């Protein structure tokens, strides 16, 4: 039966829930930062599965880890622990501020755990009145109902009935807006060091340090959502390390698994103690297959030479984008850090990021958008300079197509 099915884009419309509108191409294989579709057409991957494929496609270390673990044990559930989960947790603890790790399947689940932990911590220590979570406009924290409500984009949470309460939104990079909301009723402030879906907007050091101080003053936890910025993407293992600021809770996913679904919440021993047995859980969280792959990602990425490569790749991206902008005058600025960059469209091309995204695909380049005004790049951390140059040549053809009006 399986052999008779022809997987086409039209089949998607027949059998899949229509909440996605995928491109017409169907990729079937990848190697490094190159991908091939059903027609064997090659693409350079500047998208990385939305900042997920941290080591590109089919990296030998990840293939080996998955293959070896697949011959051992796949699943146990959390009535037992397993070796890959313990090894990975130990490495995360040793490399960060954290004492304790909770494993999940995704960034949304890691954030769900973080928000629940913050609420439980505040309830236990201060009482039921301390339940407010402060987030930020344009933020994104996942698609569960709790996380999408905490996220600062109402379009994603509207239309599903009553939303979880005691969630308010300040303005990112505006410390005064946080001061106006925070009080002794605040249990946590959650922020992304670089807002991803909101347009690749980096938090300033002054702002992030100021939020940390406000949390200290009001006995509130600082939750850093590093789902998109974590695991080397900014040139440090985690982006908080750039700021001289330590969070109370950190969430990580995406690049952590290099393409295998995994997420984690990291925190201190004292805060973690409030998630007692039975208060939260996940059937697949800490799955041996996922943790074995994530351990291989961690072992590969957590080296000074890889971090240096991320920063040198950033400079090459910025140089190439600046050169293209000198010729075509389409960007107002390039934002972001490391291998998480956003090319912000100027007034003339405002609202047309999708046009550039589609044109890029026409010319054999996989890119992303971050809202209507920003083209997002989140490729492999170890993408080669050669692939960057080829990708930029293809991006130039896409820019030409849009500028000439031949979409």
Which residue positions form the known binding site for pyridoxal 5'-phosphate?
Answer: 107-108, 140, 225-228, 283
Answer whether 268's CB lies under 8 Å from 301's CB.
Answer: no
Pairing, β 340-345 against β 374-377: antiparallel
Instruction: Give the pair of three-digit tokens for residue 280.
Output: 């939260």
Distance from chain centroid for Cα 4: 37
Answer whether 286's CB lies under 8 Å from 82's CB.
Answer: yes
d(CA 193, CA 205): 9
Q: CA nearest 259: which of 49, 102, 91? A: 49
Answer whether 166's CB lies under 8 Å from 134's CB.
Answer: no
Q: CA nearest 123: which of 162, 166, 163? A: 166
Residues placed in the known binding site = 107-108, 140, 143, 225-228, 282-283
Q: CA nearest 142: which of 112, 104, 177, 120? A: 112
Answer whether 138's CB lies under 8 Å from 342's CB.
Answer: no
Task: Quote the radius of gyration of the chain (alpha carbons, Å).
Answer: 21
Instruction: Give the side-chain half-sphere CA count within 13 A for 290.
Output: 24
Q: Count other Cβ atoms within 10 Å, centred on residue 13.
A: 11
Q: CA nearest 313: which of 394, 228, 376, 379? A: 379
Residue 347 gets which letter from DSSP? Answer: G
Q: Pinpoint the alpha helices (H) of 96-153.
A: 107-126, 145-150
φ, ψ of residue 86 to 5 degrees: the values are -70, -40
- Phi-psi label, residue 278: left if phi above 0, alpha if psi -120 to 50, beta otherwise: left
Residues placed in the known binding site for N(2)-acetyl-L-ornithine = 143, 282
What burial class does residue 33 get, using C-beta atoms within 10 Å of its C-beta: 0-12 exposed, 13-18 middle, 19+ buried? Answer: buried
**Helix H or strand E segment including 376:** strand 374-377
Q: Is the dihedral of CA 148, 142, 86, 288 positive or negative?
A: positive
């Amino acid at each position: 039966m399986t052999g008779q099915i022809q997987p086409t884009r039209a089949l998607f419309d027949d059998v899949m829930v229509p909440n996605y509108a995928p491109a017409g191409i169907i990729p079937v294989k990848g190697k490094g930062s190159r991908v091939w579709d059903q027609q064997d057409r090659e693409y350079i991957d500047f998208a990385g599965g939305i900042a997920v494929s941290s080591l590109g496609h089919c990296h030998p270390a990840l293939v080996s880890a998955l293959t070896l673990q697949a011959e051992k044990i796949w699943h146990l559930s959390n009535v037992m622990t397993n070796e890959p989960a313990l090894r990975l947790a130990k490495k995360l603890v040793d490399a960060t501020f954290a004492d304790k790790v909770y494993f999940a399947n995704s960034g949304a689940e890691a954030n769900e755990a973080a928000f629940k932990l913050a609420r439980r911590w505040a309830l236990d220590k201060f009482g039921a009145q301390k339940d407010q979570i402060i987030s930020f406009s344009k933020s994104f924290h996942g698609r569960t109902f709790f996380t999408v409500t905490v996220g600062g984009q109402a379009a994603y949470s509207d239309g599903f009935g009553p939303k979880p309460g005691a969630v308010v939104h300040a303005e990112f990079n505006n410390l005064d807006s946080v001061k106006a909301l925070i009080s002794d009723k605040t249990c946590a402030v959650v922020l992304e060091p670089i807002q991803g879906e909101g347009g690749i907007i980096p938090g300033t050091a002054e702002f992030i340090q100021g939020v940390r101080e406000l949390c200290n003053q009001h006995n509130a936890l600082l939750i850093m959502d590093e789902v998109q910025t974590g695991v080397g993407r900014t040139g440090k293992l985690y982006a908080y390390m750039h700021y001289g600021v330590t969070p109370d809770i950190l969430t990580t996913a995406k690049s952590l698994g290099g393409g295998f679904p995994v997420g984690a919440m990291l925190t201190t021993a004292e805060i973690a103690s409030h998630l007692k047995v039975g208060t939260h859980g996940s059937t697949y969280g800490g799955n041996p297959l996922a943790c074995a792959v994530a351990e291989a990602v961690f072992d590969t990425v957590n080296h000074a030479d890889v971090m240096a490569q991320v920063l040198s790749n950033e400079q090459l991206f910025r140089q190439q984008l600046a050169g293209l902008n000198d010729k075509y005058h389409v960007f107002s600025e390039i934002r972001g850090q490391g291998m998480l960059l956003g090319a912000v469209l100027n007034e003339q091309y405002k609202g047309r990021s999708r046009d550039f995204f589609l044109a890029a695909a026409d010319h054999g380049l996989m890119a992303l958008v971050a809202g209507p005004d920003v083209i997002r790049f989140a490729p492999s951390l170890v993408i080669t300079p050669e692939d960057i140059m080829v990708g930029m040549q293809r991006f130039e053809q896409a820019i030409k197509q849009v500028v000439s009006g031949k979409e």
